[in-house]
Each structure stands twice: as structure tokens, then as C-alpha cells.
Amino acid sequence: MLSKRIIPCLDVKDGRTVKGINFVELRDAGDPVELAWQYAEQGADELVFLDITATHERRGTTIEMVKSVARQLNIPFTIGGGIRSVADAEALLNSGADKISINSAAVMNPALIEELAKAFGVQFVVLAVDTKLVDGRNMVHLNGGRLITELETEDWIRRAEGLGAGEILLTSMDHDGTKNGFDCSLLEKVAESINIPVIASGGAGKIEHFTEVFLKTGVDAALAASVFHYSEIPIPYLKQELKKHNIPVRL
């Protein structure tokens, strides 16, 4: 069985790592370059870097910061925010990214998924999906959660897989920053309905939440931010605890 991955996420705004609750009330969490180095040293399996205001501000991801973060890492590095074209993705790849994450641009232009997969390979393309319950249905949201779409989350994910997405980063906006646990019900349904890896995001608050998401759902990785940024859960200790529950992890 493949090892389950632990992935810290750096949400970056104005050159600083930030974290909020339900995508709002952002507070400073430190320097992204320093945090990237710390997580690589602690044994994180991968790192995700999201320029959370790039799409809203209609600009690309900050290339120089990407280069600075990449220089600190010996683990896979996914970058997202403001990617609208193959050229945007290529620039990030050349700056040190191993994978790119697309969200709003993919919804606006689904063909972009196919173009990126053909240009760089399926394994390069991570589809980020921000979902929120609206009248009992999980609906896709864009622009950092500011804009609701008419897309049902599970339908969109299945379509994206068919277009060439190689991995799904699924964030529950209802759970994000609450530290009440991942949305295991939704994650289980999504993981069972597709054949590509799923990264669980939104809601991690204690070690038991990571144990629960791996034991109850078929996700391949769990992503978190604040519990790592503020040293509430040390990554080496987390992995030791997961190992005790017979969850395969890389130590």
C-alpha cells in the first residue's frame, strides 16, 4: 500500500503566510520561505503553496517567491494561484514547481485542464476544488471562496478527471480553519467515485482528525495549515501516531 502523505499548505498574501477561518479573518502565520524549510526538515511529504489573492487581483503567482521557496525544498512542491494558461504553468515549473494547482481558471475554461495534461503530463495537474454546502448540496466556489458557481462538486470533479486532472485537492469551506475535523462524508464519496488521488483539506485540529480521515475515507493525503504553522501538531509526532494505527506513512 502506498504511504499516506502529510502536506502543509502555505496560503500566501502580500508575501506572508496567512490563515483564516472559513476563508476569512486572515491572520499572519510567518515567512513562507522559512516555513517551507522547516517543513522539509520535519519530514513533510509535500508542500502546497497557494497565492490566495492572485486570481481575485487578476495577476499571476509571484515568481521570485516561488523560486525562493523551491530552493529550500527536497520534497515535491505544488503551486497555485492565478494560473490561466500553459505559459503561466511553464513559468512556474521553470521556477521550481513539481506540480501546479488550478481552480477558478479550470472552471472558466475546462479545456485548460486538458491542455496542461497534454503539455506536461497528468501527474503535473492538481485540480483544487473549494466546496461549500448550499441548500444541502456541495457547490463549487471560486476566487478564494468569494464566488458561488452552479457546479455541483462531485459532478465537477468527475468531469475534471476525464479531462486530465491528475489529483484533486478538495477543501471544505465549511470546515476550513474550524479545527473540528475533515468532511469525511464528502471525502469518502469523492474518493470512491474517481480513480485519481484525493488530498483532504479543511478542518484539521488534532491528530485524531488525521487518523479518522485516513481510516474512514480513501484519500491519499491530508493537508493542513494552522496546526502546523503554529506548532500545534509536530509532523514527526503526527506520523508516529498514524503509524500506531497501522496507517502507512513515510518516517
Residues serving a catalytic function are 11, 130
Q: What's at 198, amino acid-wise?
A: V
Residues with Cβ < 8 Å from 146, sequence gap 6 or more? 56
Instruction: Write out the three cell numbers for 4.
Output: 499516506
Q: Based on the number of CB atoms within 10 Å of its own CB, is 132 exposed (0-12), middle (13-18) or buried (19 or more)?
A: buried
CB 182 within 8 A of CB 213: yes
Determine the Cα–Cα distance for residues 61 and 189; give it in Å rounded to an integer: 32
CB 44 within 8 A of CB 83: no
CB 101 within 8 A of CB 50: yes
DSSP for 7-62, written as a single string? EEEEEEETTEEEEEETTEEEEEEE-HHHHHHHHHHHT-S-EEEEETTTTTTT----
CB 52 within 8 A of CB 13: yes
